[in-house]
Amino acid sequence: MSARQAAGLIRSGMTVAMSGFTLTGYPKLVPEALAETGHAQGLTLITGASVGDGLEGVMARAGLVSRRFPYQSNPTMRRLINEGAVAYADMHLSMLPAMLRWGTGCKIDVAVIECAAVLENGLVPTCSVGASDAFVSMADKVIVELNTDVPESIVGMHDIFEIGVPPSARVIPIIHPSDRIGLPYIPCPPEKIAAVVLSDRADDRPHFPESSPAAEKIGGHILRFLEDEVEAGRLPPSLGPIQSGVGAVANAVLRSLRAGGFRGLSMYTETCQDAALELLEAGVFSDVSTTAVSLSAEAQKRFYDNLDWFKQRLVLRPQEITNHPEVVRRLGLIAMNTPIEVDLCGNVNSTHVMGGTIMNGIGGSGDFARNARLNIFATESVAKGGSISCIVPMVSHVDHTEHDTQIIVTEQGVADLRWCSPEERAELLIENCAHPDYRPQLRQYLASAKRSGIGRHIPQHPIQAWDWYARVQSGGSMMEPQE
Amino acid sequence: MSARQAAGLIRSGMTVAMSGFTLTGYPKLVPEALAETGHAQGLTLITGASVGDGLEGVMARAGLVSRRFPYQSNPTMRRLINEGAVAYADMHLSMLPAMLRWGTGCKIDVAVIECAAVLENGLVPTCSVGASDAFVSMADKVIVELNTDVPESIVGMHDIFEIGVPPSARVIPIIHPSDRIGLPYIPCPPEKIAAVVLSDRADDRPHFPESSPAAEKIGGHILRFLEDEVEAGRLPPSLGPIQSGVGAVANAVLRSLRAGGFRGLSMYTETCQDAALELLEAGVFSDVSTTAVSLSAEAQKRFYDNLDWFKQRLVLRPQEITNHPEVVRRLGLIAMNTPIEVDLCGNVNSTHVMGGTIMNGIGGSGDFARNARLNIFATESVAKGGSISCIVPMVSHVDHTEHDTQIIVTEQGVADLRWCSPEERAELLIENCAHPDYRPQLRQYLASAKRSGIGRHIPQHPIQAWDWYARVQSGGSMMEPQE
């Protein structure tokens, strides 16, 4: 069927679920056709996580979307959400498929799934699984975009396991990150497939931020911290499967593992990017479990050229499994993510600037951080040339609470918050992590909060804390004016 | 050995872990002896969760404790924490035993465990397991308080399962709440037992708050909500195992299940109190899985008199298992907890008054709410005779983030926040849950927050939000003065 014919199956007001996770494995032709015809308005758009501009941007610019779940990272979509034009619910990525399967009130009319192959009993996704297994299972109709740009030999890399719905939910029998426990395809009865659209359109290539001296320093701090944990017997020499977010800091951290001489580690994560693929090729990782392989053009070529080698070492799972608390807790993950800001109590903001303006969303960071054996939040201590401190008195939005955060790292050093009281955490964060330029005013804030008398368990002074953001609004910087 | 001799094994600066969970199953004689001699100062005190005044109050009043994990509910201990005299880290209850076993830096010198029996290979706890299995496993020495007040026929009610440490952690094979998967005792080599102290001291009886018309209304709203969910096919007729916090609202909710004619349900929770025991006796619950049975004197007598009947229907597990994300997510729990306050974005404060003053702690509410199939936070819409609104612009402390909360209930009605944007949540909470006296000023706040221009995704105005607390500080009420 042509993309335009297939797009005709989608009508105004429908809930449409599309494949894709971290800019890979998303349909391109049906969204383009939807934008061209404009016949379907007011759509609810669900994806696994972030998708490329060819889907998200195209549909956002055409004004087709009125409601969006569970994550996005697109400038146009972000603007529409922050203008109040698109209603957005920012959800834990493990919860999206669960909430759909549990029948909590969101019904999928049409699923559009990019596939590398259509088998008799099901669909083989391309370079991400995301929540496509749940979408296919819960949708009334499925549109397949069969993409010949992806080698058919990717068949066998996916591992699709359906947990089932309570009271019939099953144990997820993953004991080691590389365990294959399911089928190499998403089960789909042929009668559910309403259209197959042929495509040879490649994904947009993700943008990889360049590293920086600060990111390298953060990588070095984390490496030394992990070595010390092993030395003290608090971690095994194999560390534990690594989960890593994306971005310059995340890449620097991964590369530090190689510099530290680690070998034979495992990765259990939601996205495998260039840095992780390189570590797999170099033997630093012996296996990678992920829900998406999101690569630069150069790395993608190596990946496609050696699919059989990678198939032995890399498994693509549904995000419901990669991010599942059961597996994350059992495997003993080391979760590494990048916050926007961290406050003196140890609360982490991962989603909002100045409290109200969404950036992307919480993604999988909550799934991983909450259930990991060890969680690390790593960021540069300042942003925007020093005018913003990433260590603040009180975060403007809480995504990870003081009960959940363990290790905070900046280029300045490491704060190990485990077993610490709020006051101890505040001191560690100021002296070990904050930029020296901000330490005096953070110390002053803490002293003032202790005196404020609202309660000494968590010393805080909300009015003074908000002054930090008010100064940004008025003068562009959190720095207090010098006398 | 006498309690005083046993207490002599504990020296200043030690980390002491004592059994007990929600005011039951804690040692009484060794703490009393420690208070009398006063020889051991600056102790770190760890328990499963809250313990009776005979432990917590006695040691707090004697000034023996300088550091406290992971939960408390005692007036003296609370005061010391809020004065900054005791350093407190308020932890998820599932995480405490895990953090100990993972070797994250807290080392237990002595464990003091109240037992109903000492067997050749291990210890049989009394009416709670809590984290005693982890304490015994990780401690250098164990002091047993063998309590003859608890019938020995309680042997067989406990089910102790050790998960192990990654990379050797095991699947927790609980498929149904009543499944027994482990041993009826806590394994303990005899040579680890440094003392056995005989006791016949009963637990302090917990205080059960009386019900109120508002609590009854909340119970009625939740009952109708659950019935509607079943009717709409969003829940099975068996609902899902019930987890319930403690207090007047929790009890009213449980009793509403009986009024609604439900039968054969399961409970999977951390505390079984009178209301739950009654439902088990009445057949509303066919089985109860818990880590503590904390009863009034009258209910305790029924329990002790019929231990063989209860042993077929009630299982006492470690808190590591009752609160474990793996089991909570697999079983599809309905988690019901009581917040201090809820804000318009859906964030919940369960721990702090006015941001800085701790009440008790997060307890298991995070373990359950985050991983449940359905979570419900239920509270009266106002406190202190109407001078405090429990629906506020921005909570003064975040324990459960907007990503985690689903259903909010007050005596006014129900707000179903699932799949809603922050602005939609705010409107639902104002119109369905807030007390009518506070609706005008909440509407005014929301309108002002939308105009404030900091970002429309989450409309918020932190300065105006904090005014609500400033009014409490200055005039004792959140209500705006009338013109």
Assembly ipTM: 0.97
Residue A137: phi and psi, rounded to 5, are -65, -35
The reply to whether residue B354 touches residue A454, judged by beta carbons under 8 angstroms, is: yes
In angstroms, the CA B166 to CA B189 distance is 23
Q: Return the closest-CA partner of residue B464 out of B356, B343, B357.
A: B343
**Which amino acid, one-letter code, is at A54?**
G
Minimal CA separation from B198 to chain A, in Å: 33
Choosing from B270, B320, B380, B411, the catalytic residue is B270
A452 pLDDT band (50/70/90 cuts)? confident
* Mean pLDDT of all residues in B247-272: 92
Displacement of CA B441 from its chain's centroid (Å): 33
| CA separation for the pair A108, A110 (Å, rounded) | 6
Tally A–B CB contacts below 8 A: 241
Residue A362 clears pLDDT 90, i.e. is over it: yes
Whole-number average pLDDT of chain B: 96
Q: Cβ contact (<8 Å) for B396 and A462?
A: yes
Selecting from B105, B167, B362 the residue whose C-beta is nearest the C-beta of A418 gives B105
Place of tokens 């449940």: B372
**Is B213-471 CATH 3.30.420.40?**
no
When pLDDT is cut at 50, 70 and 90, the band that residue B199 belongs to is: very high
Rounded Cα gap, residues A184 and B294, in angstroms? 49
- Residue carrying the six token digits 């403690």: B246
pLDDT at A307 over 80: yes
Whole-angstrom CA distances from A309 to A153, A183, A315 are 11, 19, 12
Cα separation, B366 vs B347, in Å, equals 12
Looking at the predicted structure, is the pLDDT value of residue B108 above 70?
yes
Identified catalytic residue from A270, A320, A341, A380: A270
Contacts 24+ apart (CB under 8 A), A349-352: A349/A395, A349/A396, A349/A397, A349/A398, A349/A399, A350/A399, A350/A400, A351/A90, A351/A397, A351/A399, A352/A396, A352/A397, A352/B455, A352/B457, A352/B458
Find the helix packing angle between A439-451 and A462-475, rounded to 10°. 140
Tokens 């003091």, residue located: B112
- Please tell me which of the candidates A104, A169, A171 has its beta carbon nearest to residue B418: A104
CA distance B126 to B294: 11
Of the residues A401, A445, A452, A471, the best mutation for testing chain B's interface (the one with the most B CB atoms within 10 Å of its CB) is A401
8 Å CB contact between A351 and A90 = yes
Residue A281 has a pLDDT of 98
Nearest to A326 among B103, B330, B355 (CB): B330
pLDDT above 90 (res B210): no
Q: What do you get for the CA distance between the two ends of chain B, in Å?
A: 71
Mutation for testing the A interface, residue in B419, B423, B451, B472 having most A CBs under 10 Å: B419
CA distances from A276 to A290, A454, A474, B142 (A): 11, 47, 41, 46
Do residues B91 and B99 make contact, with C-beta atoms less than 8 angstroms apart? Answer: yes
Q: How far apart are CA B243 and CA B414, in angstroms?
A: 19
Question: Edge-to-edge strands of the sheet including B285-290?
Answer: B314-316, B285-290, B265-268, B242-244, B334-337, B374-378, B407-410, B413-416
Mean pLDDT of chain A: 96
| Min distance B380 CA to chain A CA atoms (Å) | 24
The distance of Cα A285 from the centroid of its chain, to the nearest Å, equals: 20
Nearest chain A residue to B458, by CA:
A356
CB contact under 8 A, A455 and B353: yes
Q: Which two tokens stand for residue B330?
A: 């697999």
Asked if A294 and A272 count as a contact pair (C-beta separation under 8 A), the reply is yes
User: What is the predicted pLDDT for the residue at B297?
Assistant: 92
Q: Where are the domains of chain B?
A: 3-199, 213-471
| Rg of chain B over all Cα atoms, to the nearest angstrom | 23
**Nearest beta carbon to residue B358 from set A357, A457, A470:** A457
CA A232 to chain centre: 31
pLDDT beyond 70 at A483: no
Residue B156 confidence (pLDDT) = 98
Which H or E run contains B359?
none
Amino acid at residue number A467 = D
Average pLDDT over residues B248-268: 92
To the nearest whole Å, the CA of A74 is away from the closest chain B CA by 15
Looking at residues B95-112, what average pLDDT do you find? 97
User: Residue A132: pLDDT above 70?
Assistant: yes
A298 membership: H or E segment, kind and range? helix A297-305
Q: Minimal Cα distance from B67: which residue of A?
A: A421
β strands within A246-371, DSSP E? 265-268, 285-290, 314-316, 334-337, 341-343, 348-349, 352-353, 357-358
Which alpha helices (H) appear in B47-191, and where do they start and end? 56-61, 75-82, 95-101, 132-138
Q: Which of A200-209, B55-64, B253-262 has the highest mean pLDDT?
A: B55-64
CB spacing of B332 vs A165 below 8 angstroms: yes
Give kind and range of the element (H or E) at residue B332: none
Contacts of A440 by beta carbon, 8 Å cutoff, 6+ apart: none
Chain B residue closest to A78 (CA)? B457
**Residue B310 per-residue DSSP state:** H
Residues of B with CB below 8 A from A163's CB? Answer: 330
Whole-angstrom distance, CA of residue B267 vs CA of residue B289: 6
Identify the closest residue of chain B to A394 by CA–CA distance. Answer: B397
Task: Say if CB A242 and CB A279 are below 8 A apart.
Answer: no
Q: How far is B199 from chain A (nearest CA, A)?
A: 32
How far apart CA A40 and CA A66 sit, in angstroms, is 11
Mutate one of B350, B401, B460 to test the A interface: name it (highest A CB count within 10 A): B401
Q: Which 8-state DSSP code applies to residue B66?
A: E
**A178 falls in which pLDDT band (50, 70, 90)?**
very high
Is the pLDDT reported for residue A317 higher than 90?
A: yes
Residue of A nearest to B87 (CA): A421
Lowest mean pLDDT among A213-227, A287-301, B430-444, B445-459: B445-459
Helix segments in B67-192, DSSP class H: 75-82, 95-101, 132-138
Which DSSP symbol is given to B431? Answer: I
> Is there a contact between B144 and B123 (Cβ–Cβ < 8 Å)?
yes
> Which pLDDT score is estimated for B453?
66
Cβ neighbours of B347 in A, within 8 Å: 398
CB contact under 8 A, A454 and B473: yes
For A211-264, the three-class secondary structure string (H helix, E strand, C coil) is CCHHHHHHHHHHHHHHHHHHHCCCCCCCCCCEEECCCHHHHHHHHHHHHCCCCC
pLDDT at residue A207 greater than cutoff 80:
no
pLDDT value for A186: 98
Whether the per-residue pLDDT at A455 is higher than 90: the answer is no
Q: Which residue among B356, B400, B404 sits closest to A459, beta carbon to beta carbon?
A: B356
pLDDT digits (tens, 9 = 90+) for B123-158: 999 999 999 999 999 999 999 999 999 999 999 999
Pairing, β B265-268 against β B285-290: parallel
Question: What is the pLDDT confidence band of residue B419, given thresholds at 50, 70 and 90?
Answer: very high
Highest mean pLDDT range out of A187-201, A207-221, B197-211? Answer: A187-201
Please answer yes or no on whether A423 and B98 come within 8 Å at the CB atom: no
Q: Which residues of B touch A456 (CB under 8 A)?
A: 82-84, 356
| pLDDT band, residue A141 (cuts 50/70/90) | very high
Chain A contact set for B164 (CB, 8 A): none
CA distance B41 to B65: 7
**Same CATH fold, A213-471 and A3-199?**
yes
Residue of chain B whose Cα is closest to the Cα of A91: B403
Chain B neighbors of A396, CB-CB under 8 A:
462
Indicate the pairing of strand A122-125 with strand A110-118. antiparallel
Is residue B426 within 8 Å of B446, Cβ to Cβ? yes
Q: CA torsion angle for A209, A214, A217, A218 (degrees, to 10)?
A: -70
Distance CA B202, CA B149 (A): 6
User: What is the structure's pLDDT at B483?
Assistant: 64
Task: Write the burial class of residue B334 (CB in 10 Å: 0-12 exposed, 13-18 middle, 19+ buried).
Answer: buried
- At the fourth CATH level, the homologous superfamily of domain B3-199 is Glutaconate Coenzyme A-transferase (3.40.1080.10)
Question: Closest to B401 (Cβ–Cβ): which among A67, A401, A473?
Answer: A401
Report, as an integer, the average pLDDT of A441-454: 91
Which of A332, A370, A399 lies at the smallest CB-CB distance from B370?
A: A370
Banded model confidence at residue A211, pLDDT cuts 50, 70, 90:
confident
Known catalytic residue: A36?
Answer: no
Of the residues B66, B179, B353, B403, the best mutation for testing chain A's interface (the one with the most A CB atoms within 10 Å of its CB) is B403
Q: Which residue of B has its CA nearest to A420?
A: B89
Q: What band does A429 get if pLDDT is binned at 50, 70 and 90?
A: very high
Q: Do residue B329 and residue A330 have CB atoms under 8 angstroms apart?
A: no
**Does A453 score more than 70 pLDDT?**
no
Copy the structure tokens of residue B265: 């349900």
Q: Is the peptide bond before B462 cis (omega within 30 degrees of 0)?
A: no
Query: What are the beta bridge partners of residue A283?
Result: none
Dihedral sign from CA coordinates of B467, B471, B477, B482: negative
Residue identified by tokens 């905070």 is A408
> How crowded is residue B269: how many other Cβ atoms within 10 Å of its Cβ?
28
Measured in degrees and rounded to the nearest 5, phi and psi for residue A12 equal: -50, 140
Question: Cα–Cα distance between A70 and A53 in angstroms, integer?
Answer: 16
